[in-house]
A and B are shown apart, each in its own frame.
Chain A
């Protein structure tokens, strides 16, 4: 597997008071540590997107607890802490005709950047590399 492809967990959460807490409690019980996360919401449900330590093991644990979880391939691109950094990354993808479905920023111990769900991760990695941008490897997070 491409070392630049990162596995994201997408977890279905109801949009009601206490729902996120319930899901977060299960994450705690399963000993799952999140490196980054993002919440998307519609009127009656939300999606918790998370990058975790050991995705396959985490999915198995969550499914055993009847949580709806899905594995999604995303990519991460390093973003320098300067104005215009986001422009560079998004411009490279735009020129290559790659659509960004959603994305969220993160700052880790060693690396900071943007996680993105794109319609074609492999092509996106190519396009970003050619544009001289550096990708975040799963192992670095």
Chain B
């Protein structure tokens, strides 16, 4: 089944021509009517007249997450306030949030992308999708919600948390699909066992739509064995709109909607654009966005682009499962954590010295983060209780700031490694 067969099976040369025309139109509009983009293109010494072929996109400057922070909240919006129909926000790093805006058309294209994606994943009007992503400022819940409604599926807007109830509802309503993070699915499986639920006997689940954090083929095999449901990878971030692109049932990596997004893969070292089939840094251009266009936005995700047709019959290009980051962002139990946030929090605590280490591992199926900190000599107490209070205080501060529980270990000055050149403070032993 395809939601939009015309686009989804369009021959590659026609896709590229469609993208070329879209790009030219987009660049022309932004250059002519928007100061932010006009100034940017001028600074890069490029005008719409320079953009003729699809490859000419390489003349345009990159955009970064920092642009969203610097222009918070609305300095990058390119439409009148009256045209904006929704905001989503991310908590951001170092205390600086980011805000994304959507026009009616932006929401419609987001929903269209998900309608195609969910159909590709095998969902139809007969399915009941339990949306166990966060509803609200996070894009996951509402994104999947409208996408599933669009194809006529029944949506159970379960949101996050309340795990026992989620499992009861899943049984009572015979939910055939769930959308959640891989770590939440792990939690559901564990809780179901504790409740005495035999997943394969008591559940009717056929599909799990999993994303928002890295997961692996090993995890896929495990989830599928435990639940009997097919596990589908979904990709998308708030800068693009939200979760957007799903794998088809062949599970060969998420299919991109080429009319909505143009993908480039760069060599992270040289910045050179790589041919399809090569692993590199994902750069996205949103071809249809109105409220907040994204031109050559550096996602910082590492993946590979594939343009050859898929066995499902779709010609829409695919990206591989994200295998890492080109920056130092860590995803811990679905939450984005930058080491800079940890440093910022630690350095504001007077008892903490200059050195710290971040150890990330996976205990069972759950990510675990242990932060070792050297304390200053004057912060040392002969009373164990005071030391434990200090540790608890540091843990509370980090939790407040990172939105995630971490374990802190106190170390004596000189115990942690020193670095001559670039400090390597993160040790991540997780296998994806």
Contact = CB atoms under 8 A, between A and B. Distances in A.
A40 B409 contact: no
Nearest to B386: A101
A42 B382 contact: no
Interface residues of A, number: 21
B410 A66 contact: no
Contact of A45 (B377, B382, B412): B412
Interface string B368-401: 0000100001001111100110000000000000
Given A14-B415, A68-B377, A44 B384 contact: no
Contacts of B412: 12-14, 45, 67-68
Contact of B384 (A47, A63, A72): A47
Contact of A66 (B387, B409, B413): B413
A118 to B, nearest CB: 12
Contacts of A14: 411-412, 415
B421 interface: no
B414 interface: yes
Given A10-B380, A70-B381, A117-B382, A45 B413 contact: no
Contacts of B415: 14
Nearest to A49: B382
A66 B382 contact: no
B204 to A, nearest CB: 44
B411 A45 contact: yes
A4 interface: no
A45 B387 CA distance: 9
Interface string B350-381: 00000000000000000000001000010011
A104 to B, nearest CB: 12
Contact of B382 (A43, A44, A67, A70): A70
B74 to A, nearest CB: 46
A10 B382 contact: yes
Contact of A68 (B380, B384, B409): B380
A78 B98 CA distance: 67
Contact of A72 (B382, B409, B410, B414): B382
A8 B383 CA distance: 12
Interface in A52-92: 63, 66-68, 70, 72
Contacts of B411: 14, 44-45
Interface in B271-293: none
B84 to A, nearest CB: 50
A12 B412 CA distance: 7
Contacts of A40: 384
Contacts of A45: 387, 409-412
Contacts of B377: 63, 68
Contacts of B382: 8, 10, 47, 49, 70, 72, 117
Contact of B414 (A42, A66, A102): A66
Contacts of A72: 382
Contacts of A43: 409
Contacts of A63: 377
Interface string A1-32: 00000001010111000000000000000000
A94 B381 CA distance: 24
A43 to B, nearest CB: 8
Contacts of A44: 372, 409-411
Contacts of B414: 66
A63 B388 CA distance: 23
B96 to A, nearest CB: 33
A126 to B, nearest CB: 23
A132 to B, nearest CB: 29
Residue of A8, A12, A72 contacting most chain B CB atoms (<10 Å) = A12
Top 5 A-B pairs ranked by shortest CB distance? A10-B382, A44-B409, A72-B382, A12-B412, A68-B377
Given A70-B381, A70-B382, 6 more contacts: A8-B382, A42-B388, A44-B410, A45-B387, A45-B412, A47-B387
16 contacts: A10-B382, A13-B412, A42-B388, A44-B410, A45-B387, A45-B411, A45-B412, A47-B382, A47-B387, A68-B377, A68-B380, A68-B412, A70-B380, A102-B384, A117-B382, A117-B383
